[in-house]
Amino acid sequence: MNRIMNEEMPEYSGSRAVIESLLQEGVEVIFGYPGGAIIPVYDILYDYRDRIHHVLTRHEQGAVHAAQGYARVSSRVGVCMVTSGPGATNTITGLADAMADSTPLVLITGQVGSTQLGTNAFQEVDIIAITQPVTKWNFQVRKASEIPGALARAFYLARSGRPGPVVIDITRDAQVGMTPFRYEPAREVRGYVPYPVPDPRQVERAVALIREARRPMILFGQGVTLGGAEEEFRAFVEKSDMPAASTLLGLSTLPVTHPRYVGLLGMHGNYAPNIKNRECDLLVAVGMRFDDRVTGNPLKFGENARIIHLEIDPAEINKIIRVDVPVLGNAKETLPLLTAGIEQGDHEDWTSEFRARAAVEEQETIQPAIHPGDAALHMGEVVRAVSEAYDDDAVLVTDVGQQQVFACRYFGYKRPRSVVTSGGLGTMGFGLPAAIGACLGAPHREICLFAGDGGLQMTIQELGTVAQLNLPVKILLMNNGYLGMVRQWQELFFHKRYSFTAITNPEFEYIARAHGVAYRQVTRREDLRDAVREMKAHPGPFLLEVKVMQEENVFPMIPAGAAVSDILVK
């Protein structure tokens, strides 16, 4: 029987088996950087150029962030490929970021020959041991015959349940060895339960609490989007009639115009959902993990509320916040169970209290940010000008820092999967390569990247990738001459001791034009909207540098260790 099967199956090299396996998984784009230990796979990839688009990034970290951006906007698994040694270790930050933000990713790394393992051979590192803490799963392939099965499992684990990054390390002899090829997509992995079955008793308890609540609030995170449950979530919101607040990664799950959307929760979130946290009698957390940037002091979070937690990962239940009713399962399955069990709610009076608090923030924080009274350009007004130019319907990509918070607060969203930002790890340098991936993952949408002068320079070499592909990424560079978020903390909590946060920048114009990227600089408010129109009309990549106020602070803000209800509006 084995002889007959082998005769029917094609005989491939391990390298060809890699590429054929990727095709079986529907992979269309790979982000990567070739090197000695992965050359055999790249050699085969040369024959598949018309079927798989390989993007040569300028750094391996950029390849992983680009794959993240691709995955976040497309709902597909991002794929990247690098060589051994420094090529592999350069991906660690991206893997950690993907792990923190539950981004489905498969990274293929080359490795020295199996007989050289453990000999300190040229460009050998134990990437399996190194990546174990920052991956959902990893595996080293030493035989060509293991390749199809390893990749099938990798894609299944990366995308199923709570998504995450997976590493497949392939030795050189496995790449050049021959094997009968047969690919079967994985449908299960022993001992792995990606989708817990909801407990009907917990669903009933949750429904009972919702019926009793008079001052309830929904807190929703990226788990709604990762579960493909946007429609189910909207139905639950509208039937329950509860005000709903978003985590950073939950942004764009609901449009900003939805009548029950009350804003962003957490350290730099909106005033209303944070200040009303103490007054709630019920919090319904959907697909979020109670990150410390959301909860503030966990002992004071929702201190007067019963808490329902809809979550796919059992490890997140009671990890930070003790909950009254855990409902395990995919939000796409659990939300309809709750919606079916509850009656049509009416919380208009309670929601109106959020609107009253929102009016305070509008007067004290928002209007001064988007319509400042001084001559300096402010980040908030730049964000609003860009969002309005795109009719609140572009994909927002951000780097990390003050511009990230301003952009996420003041950019408008109409559709899901409209925000790509680094949440859990807060990786400076994430923005530019992630925007590359977003462009390729959502080619039908406009991509607007907001970056600070510090973060942009961490991966600025990826302008070469943008230029080579002529991707229409629109880059808004908020240049204030500081590492702004750190400087803000130094101002507010360290007596304005600006210890090494001032940064001397290059002439970004020369860098942009050297790559063939269109450029314009704005220093005056009266030139801003014209510059944004020029940027939007340009068919290719564009770098718009805006010289913004140097010592601007982003508010509201929850001081470290404080309760979310202690939020400061200014």
Each residue's pLDDT tens digit, 81-99: 999 999 999 999 999 999 9
pLDDT for position 529: 97
pLDDT classification of 280: cutoffs 50, 70, 90? very high
- Residues in the chain, total: 570
Average the pLDDT over 307-329 and give the result: 97
pLDDT for position 494: 96
pLDDT for position 7: 56
* Per-residue pLDDT at 149 exceeds 50: yes
Beta strands in 116-235 (DSSP E): 137-141, 165-171, 178-180, 216-220
Name the fold adopted by 11-180: Rossmann fold (3.40.50)
Mean of all residue pLDDT scores within the chain: 96
Delimit the CATH 3.40.50.1220 region(s) of the chain.
200-354
β partners of residue 309: 285, 326
Among 240, 242, 261, 241, CA closest to 250: 261
pLDDT for position 141: 98
State how beta strands 11-13 and 178-180 pair.
antiparallel
Contact 220, 287 (CB under 8 A): yes
Q: Does 3.40.190.10 match the CATH number of domain 377-547?
A: no
- φ, ψ of residue 293 to 5 degrees: the values are -70, -15
**Per-residue pLDDT reduced to its tens digit, 393-444:** 999 999 999 999 999 999 999 999 999 999 999 999 999 999 999 999 999 9
pLDDT for position 5: 47
Measured distance CA(288)–CA(294) in Å, rounded: 10
- The token pair that represents 301 in the structure block: 């979070």
Delimit the CATH 3.40.50.970 region(s) of the chain.
11-180, 377-547
Domain spanning 200-354: which CATH class is it, in words?
Answer: alpha beta
Measured distance CA(171)–CA(323) in Å, rounded: 46
- pTM, full prediction: 0.96
Contact 97, 54 (CB under 8 A): no
- As a whole number of angstroms, the longest Cα–Cα distance in the chain is 82
Measured distance CA(248)–CA(421) in Å, rounded: 8
Measured distance CA(272)–CA(246) in Å, rounded: 12
